[in-house]
Structure 1
C-alpha cells in the first residue's frame, strides 16, 4: 500500500482548496493507498468525516512558527514513513513542509499551486509577503519532484517559467459535478420561494470567503450602483470570513440592508445558483475560481474581473471586466446582460476540462505515478 501525506487542509469547508482535497480523497479511495493529512488544527467535524476513509490527521504549527512546523513535519515523516507528500499551497512562502520532506528522504514530492496572489488584509503585511514570496519562489521548486497548478497562471505564481513550461508541470482544473449544478427550473422556483424572492425581482449573486482577495469593498460599491439604476434588485452574498462584519457595516452605511442578504456558509450552493439571475466575481486575484465554474454550469451569466484567468470561461455568457473601470460601467454592463433564457445555454468545448470524471483520472495518476 502506497502511503501519501497530503497538506494542507483546514476544516474541510474553508474554500476551494479544501473542496479540491476532499474531491481528491474521494477520487483515489478505491486505489491501494493510505491518505493522511496535515492541518492547521484538528476540527472535529472534519475528523469525523475522514474516519470513513481511514485517514490520519496531523496538526502542525502555522507559518508564523516555521522552525516548529519544520520540526513537526519531520517528526510525522520519521514516525510514519511515506512514499509521497502532496502539498497544496497558495504561496511560495509555504515551502517548509516540502523541504522537511526532502530532508527526510521522501522520494515523491508533489507541489500544487492553487492561487495567484497573497491574501493579506494589511497592506504593509501584503507588501512584505510579496517580497518574501518572490524570494521563496526562486528556490521552492528545488524541494519538489512534480508540479501542479489549478491553472497556468497559478503555476506561474509559484514556480519559475522553466518549470511551468516543462513536462514536470501539469494543470489540474478545479472540476465540478455537472449533474449537481445543472439548471433546473423547478428548483429555481422552490429556492426563490424559500428565500421570499418575487418572480419579477432581479437577483445578483456572489459566493466566496469574505477576505481581501475577493474585493468586497468594490463589490458593495457595485451593488449600490446597480440598486440606484434598478430598485427591484436583490443581492445574495454567500460565505463567511474575516471581513464579514466590516462588509455588513458598509452595507448599512450604503442603505442597502433591505436588498442585501447575507446567507453565511452554505452546503447547498448548487441550489442557490438556481435562484440567481447573474453571478459576479470581482476578485483581485484567483488561481481559478471553482465558484465561477459552478455558476457557469448552472447556466448563469457571469461577470468576472479581468484578473481572473480566461481558462475559467466555459460558456459564452461569461464576461471579464477591468477593475480599473468604474462601478457605474460595471453596473450598466451587468444590467444589460442579466436576463436571458438559461435553458438555451450550452457549455463550450473547454468545459470538458472541468468534468469531475476526467479529473478523477488525473488525480489517480497523481497517486499511481
Structure 2
C-alpha cells in the first residue's frame, strides 16, 4: 500500500489548482493507494460535495500556513513522521513549497514531488530566498506546462502532467443550452460571452470591462458573464461596471459548481490574463466546442484545437473588440459536439491522467 499526502496552498474552491487536486482524489484507483490531503486555507462551503467526492482518507486542516509558519511546519512534520508517507505531492507555484519539502525530508518521506501550476508567483522575494532550500529538498518535479516547468525548475528535469478534465461533463447538449439560456434570460439575438476566473489582478478583469465598454456602443446584443471566486479586485471591478453603466451588459455570476451547464449557453469565451500556468478552464471550453480568445501571455500549449485564438493585451482593446464582434450565436450542433472527442484524444481526459500519475509514483518510488 502506497501512502500519499497531497498539499494545497490555496483555499479549496473553483480555481484550476483545486479542481486538479480534487480530481486526483476522486479518480485515482485506491485499491493500493491511500491519499490524504492537507488543507492550508480551508474550503469554500459550496465545494463540500466536491471535497466529499474526492474521498480522501484523511483531511488535515492546517489553516495557518500564512499566519504561523513555524507551527504549520512542526505540525506537518509530526503528521508525516507519524503516518510514514511514501509520497508527498506539493502543489504550488514557487519555492515556498520548500516548507513542505523540508518537513517531508526530515520525516523520512522517500518521494517529494513538487508540482508547478503557474509560470509566475506573487511572492518573488520569498521565492528567490527559498530557491536553494527548495532545490535541495525536492526530488521529483511535475509541471502543468513547459512554461510552468521552466519557471520553477529551470534546466532541471520535470514531467509534464496535463491538466485533465472530466470530458463527458463538457460534451455539448442542445437541451441544456436551451434550458440555461432561458435561465440567463437570453433572447434569440443575444450573444453570450463568458469569463471564468478569480477576481485577482492577473486575471485582468479591467481589460474586459474596457473592451465591453466599446462593444456596447456598437452592439448591445453582446452580454458578458463573469464567473469567479471573490478576490482582491472584485469590489473595484463591480464599482467600475456601475460607474460605466454596464449593468445590462455585464453580469456578475459569482461561483457555480455546475459551470459545465452554464457553458452550454455561451457563444464565446475570453481569458485576457496577464499570466497563467496552464488554465484548465480553456480545456473545458474547448471540450464544449466553444471558441476562445485568450491573451498571448498564456502558453501556446493551451491551443489543443482550432477553437483558440491568441491576441496581445498590449495591442489594446480595439483589436479584442473587433475579434469578439466577429462571433455570433449560431450553433452547428454536430461540429460543437465533436470537440470533446478531440480534447480527449489530445491527452486531457482526467481519468487517464490520474492513472498515469499513479504509475509515476510507483515507478519513481522504485528508483529511490
Q: TM-score, normalised by structure 1?
A: 0.89
Task: Give the alignment partner of residue 250 of structure 2, picking from 252, 257, 260.
Answer: 260
Match of 2:366 in 1: none
* 2:295 equivalent to 1:305: yes
Offset of residue 39 of structure 1: 1.1
Match of 1:86 in 2: 89
Task: Give the alignment partner of residue 59 of structure 1, picking from 58, 61, 72.
Answer: 61
Contact 2:191/2:223 (CA < 8 Å) preserved in 1?
yes
Match of 1:25 in 2: 25
Q: Distance in 2 between matches of 1:116 and 1:52?
A: 27
Contact 1:301/1:338 (CA < 8 Å) preserved in 2?
no
Offset of residue 113 of structure 1: 0.6
Match of 1:148 in 2: 142
Give the length in aligned residue pairs.
Answer: 355
Match of 1:179 in 2: 168
Match of 1:229 in 2: 218
* 2:268 equivalent to 1:278: yes
Q: Distance in 1 between matches of 2:28 and 2:9?
A: 17
* 2:180 equivalent to 1:191: yes
Q: Distance in 2 between matches of 1:321 and 1:350?
A: 25
Q: TM-score, normalised by structure 2?
A: 0.89
CA gap of 1:41–1:133, structure 2 versus 1, over 3 A, is closer
Match of 1:118 in 2: 121
Match of 1:122 in 2: none
CA gap of 1:82–1:273, structure 2 versus 1, over 3 A, is same
Superposed, 1:1-369 pairs within 5 Å as 1-8=1-8, 10-43=10-43, 49-50=51-52, 53=55, 55-60=57-62, 61-119=64-122, 129-161=123-155, 163=156, 166=157, 169-242=158-231, 243-338=233-328, 341-343=331-333, 344-345=335-336, 346-347=338-339, 352-369=346-363
Q: Which runs of 5+ in 2 are unaligned?
A: 364-368
> Cα deviation per residue 1:141-169 (whole Å; 9 max; x = unaligned)?
321111101111111121122x1xx3xx2
Q: Which runs of 5+ in 1 are unaligned?
A: 120-128
CA gap of 1:339–1:54, structure 2 versus 1, over 3 A, is closer
Greater alpha carbon shift after TM alignment, 139-148 vs 272-281: 139-148
Aligned residue for 2:195, secondary structure, equals strand
Greater alpha carbon shift after TM alignment, 37-46 vs 106-115: 37-46
Q: Distance in 2 between matches of 1:50 and 1:3?
A: 19
Offset of residue 350 of structure 1: 8.5
